[in-house]
Structure 1
Amino acid sequence: MQRRDFLKFSASLLATGLSHQALANPADSFRVYSASDSGQRLNRLSIWESTSNTAQHYPIPFRAHDILPFADQQRVLAFGRRPEMQCVLVDTTGNADGRLIDAAEGRHFYGHGCFSADNSTLFTTENEYDEARGVIGIRDATSLEIIGEYDTYGVGPHDIHLMPDGKTLVVANGGIETHPDYGRRKLNIETMQPSLVYIDVASGKKLDEFRLSDHKLSIRHLVVSKRGDVGIATQYQGDTYREQPHTLVAWQPYGKALQEIAIPAPLTQSIRGYMADIAFDEQNQVLAVTAPRGNRLTLWDIEASKLIQEVELSEPSGVQYLAGKQQFIVSAAKGDLTAVHLQHGRVTTQTLFTDADTAWDNHLVIA
């Protein structure tokens, strides 16, 4: 981005962003952070407040993928959706310009990041594209300057989470080779090798690695339980008109083997091999995974290892479990935020917010 364009972006950010009041009752109030596009295809960071039922929007210079709020809930990092050379730090109080964060030379970001247990360090998934090598970028969380890097022991790292022990990172190596010279073209479908890798935070040493039975299942997104179980949402890179994957969701109980959950054939045909975001209800032991191409939220019983519900929603995108209200919050590309409540095998839904001018992107964060 040129300096002139960056100054225009910063001025727009200050003009549009509004200050936020502290949540009056944390038990009943919450805030949803997500990337979104407007009806005019303007790229934004959007924040919806449950108390006022209003959304505030902050312009950003590219389409974002995942969102990472800082502990103060006022500064927010937005990661580029496409392979992107920058991420952007947004100050939602309007007290500072939006700050663009550049990837290191020869690298691009891959859409996700997480903080260390003490919030002092930022870890980002990146691609060293000339060597097709997955990298975890390590930055000081205050200055956002690069202080190191780790190998991800795979290709195309996408999602990354800190495990509950505070000492281990879990990385979804999607397995897909990309290069900026070829846009979004996937360069290695026939030879791709996705992997789930656990890495020691202190040393960068690989602690363990797991793979699915089908090498065309790109491991994209993860959810981690309080105990350290890991849920996996995948995207099939084969020809879904000629072949159907036997699974798109997997579960790894803490310290045990990776378990693939069989998917009914009619469902995999309708969702075209594409799962987006993933969340976990610890009380009911249920995974929720959005399938935007199939217009549904899928619910999976972990103990029975099977699909239990399909909830029809128009182009669902992000999902996260709100434990205080015992419900999943689901965003949609059509502008809705929906609460999905599961109790005794019965699903109820409630539309919390709708705005046809807000196309929510594939992830949301609740604070």
Structure 2
Amino acid sequence: MTTRRGFLAGLAAAGLTPRAGWADAGAPAFLSAGRVADGAYNLYGLDRRGRPLFHLPIPDRGHAAAAHPQRAEAVAFARRPGRFALVLNCVSGAEIARLSAPEGRHFYGHGAFDAEGRVLFTTENDYEAGQGRIGLWDAGAGYRRIGEVASGGVGPHDIRLMPDGQTLVVANGGVETHPDTGRVKLNLPVMQPNLSYLSLAGEVLEVVRMPPEHRMNSIRHLDLRADGLVAFAMQWQGEGTELRPVLGLHRRGTAPVAVTGNEAEMRAMNGYGGSVIFYDQGRRVAVSSPRGGIVQLSDVAAGRIIGGVAITDVCGLGVTGGGLVASSGSGVFTRVGGKEASRSEIAWDNHLVAVNRA
């Protein structure tokens, strides 16, 4: 009788050893970067209550991560303007690869895989040209860089694979930066944020802009509904006390819709949308504001704000068991509007990244 050890040895000899899946890493619900009390930074796998299942060291502050759709691999991105991204085996803790931005480029903190996990797409800045780029990395060949394409705008931040599996949507924030000046915004008088839809080969299929009065509303973060509706969070770059929406909705082939409310609701966000997510089977959408200390809730069909929940320094948003959860820089992981799920000394960074377990 063939033993399991003998069977696996035979697979290894044939080059067919099965790769570890997310179940082997404890079946995390989310990935998040965080800082511990001694100042060290880690990437964490969290269960549905926000309890760490594993943690892996990263060299500096993280922003977001990309979870491989099949293998227990995560790409942890540095906070912009970052030059590194680490590909980590979430079972063994081993560093699989270290992505370095090519000369003249830096990362913007986000990435996405294609449906099969063969190619990783990364948002990048060509800072001498002041143009956005999407880097292409072969995930089956040690994450070797295989090319780049135009992002369709300036300052690409978030990127997602659309539900059709054939299209990427990119949040081009419109803000030009350069590593020599850190996070200084160089083009505010002429900035033009947009949503760009790209084919996987890099063809620009559609570019969508908000009306001119919202030209200084930088489009930063994205979420997708199963039918292709896009929610996007914005960050106002202008001065003054104008009431500007921080949440928009878009369906390809139509004009974008700004989600609004009364004056108090609009001011509560302090002009800053941190993370965005659909919940309640896509009927509602939430956007967080660490500057406002609030998670604001909106009705999708009406395009109107319907409420908000105060949470200090909140940013990360996720959905589990049909319910909305949030994480904060104060170490709180909570069901929004419900009982606090957990509290730790870990200062959670900007995003909760859902793990897609195939």
Please indicate the TM-score interval, normalised by the length of the shorter structure: 0.7 to 0.9
Q: Is the 8 A contact 1:218 1:237 kept in 2?
A: yes
Partner of 2:335: 339
Q: Tell me the TM-score normalised to structure 2 length.
A: 0.87
Letter in 2 for 1:244: E
Q: Tell me how far apart the structure 2 counterparts of residues 72 and 260 of structure 1 sit (CA, whole Å).
A: 35
- Does the C-alpha gap of structure 1 residues 23 and 147 become closer, same or farther in structure 2, counting only changes over 3 Å? closer
Q: Does 1:259 align with 2:257?
A: yes
Q: Is the 8 A contact 1:316 1:332 kept in 2?
A: yes
Partner of 2:204: 206
Partner of 2:233: 233
Q: Tell me how far apart the structure 1 counterparts of residues 155 and 210 of structure 2 sit (CA, whole Å).
A: 16
- Does the C-alpha gap of structure 1 residues 33 and 107 become closer, same or farther in structure 2, counting only changes over 3 Å? same
Partner of 2:6: none
Partner of 1:266: helix, strand, or coil? helix
Q: Tell me how far apart the structure 1 counterparts of residues 38 and 265 of structure 2 sit (CA, whole Å).
A: 33
TM superposition shift of 1:22: 4.2
Q: Give CA deviations for 1:217-261 in whole Å, capped at 9, x if unaligned.
A: 00000111111000010000012xx23233111111354321112
- Does the C-alpha gap of structure 1 residues 47 and 23 become closer, same or farther in structure 2, counting only changes over 3 Å? closer
Q: Does 1:120 align with 2:118?
A: yes
From 315, 326, 344, the counterpart of 2:322: 326
Q: Does 1:220 align with 2:220?
A: yes
Partner of 2:107: 109
- Does the C-alpha gap of structure 1 residues 211 and 284 become closer, same or farther in structure 2, counting only changes over 3 Å? closer
Partner of 1:349: helix, strand, or coil? coil
Q: Is the 8 A contact 1:35 1:361 kept in 2?
A: yes
Q: Tell me how far apart the structure 1 counterparts of residues 175 and 254 of structure 2 sit (CA, whole Å).
A: 26
Q: Give CA deviations for 1:73-94 in whole Å, capped at 9, x if unaligned.
A: 5321111112111111122223
Partner of 2:149: 150
Letter in 1 for 2:349: D
Q: Tell me how far apart the structure 1 counterparts of residues 204 and 48 of structure 2 sit (CA, whole Å).
A: 41
Q: Tell me how far apart the structure 2 counterparts of residues 51 and 313 of structure 1 sit (CA, whole Å).
A: 17
TM superposition shift of 1:30: 5.0
Q: Tell me how far apart the structure 2 counterparts of residues 119 and 234 of structure 1 sit (CA, whole Å).
A: 29
TM superposition shift of 1:72: 4.3
Letter in 1 for 2:200: V
Q: Is the 8 A contact 1:174 1:219 kept in 2?
A: yes
Unaligned runs of 5+ in 1: 1-18, 341-347
Q: Is the 8 A contact 1:236 1:245 kept in 2?
A: no
Q: Tell me how far apart the structure 2 counterparts of residues 190 and 141 of structure 1 sit (CA, whole Å).
A: 39
The farther-off stretch of 265-274 and 223-232 is 265-274
TM superposition shift of 1:95: 5.6
Q: Give CA deviations for 1:23-75 in whole Å, capped at 9, x if unaligned.
A: 88xxxx75221011112322111122348944532210011111112234532
TM superposition shift of 1:293: 1.1
Letter in 2 for 1:126: E
Q: Is the 8 A contact 1:231 1:250 kept in 2?
A: yes
Q: Is the 8 A contact 2:220 2:235 kept in 1?
A: yes
Unaligned runs of 5+ in 2: 1-20
Give 1:19-58 correspondences, 5 Å limit.
Answer: 22=24, 30-50=28-48, 53-58=51-56
Partner of 1:267: helix, strand, or coil? helix
Q: Tell me how far apart the structure 2 counterparts of residues 76 and 212 of structure 1 sit (CA, whole Å).
A: 33
From 345, 352, 356, the counterpart of 1:364: 352
Percent identity (aligned): 36
How many residues of Structure 1 are paired with residues of Structure 2 in the alignment? 332
The farther-off stretch of 62-71 and 253-262 is 253-262
Q: Tell me how far apart the structure 2 counterparts of residues 84 and 23 of structure 1 sit (CA, whole Å).
A: 27
Q: Tell me how far apart the structure 1 counterparts of residues 300 and 249 of structure 2 sit (CA, whole Å).
A: 7
Partner of 1:250: helix, strand, or coil? strand
Q: Tell me how far apart the structure 2 counterparts of residues 190 and 351 of structure 1 sit (CA, whole Å).
A: 43
Partner of 2:268: helix, strand, or coil? helix
Q: Tell me how far apart the structure 1 counterparts of residues 50 and 197 of structure 2 sit (CA, whole Å).
A: 41
- Does the C-alpha gap of structure 1 residues 278 and 89 become closer, same or farther in structure 2, counting only changes over 3 Å? same
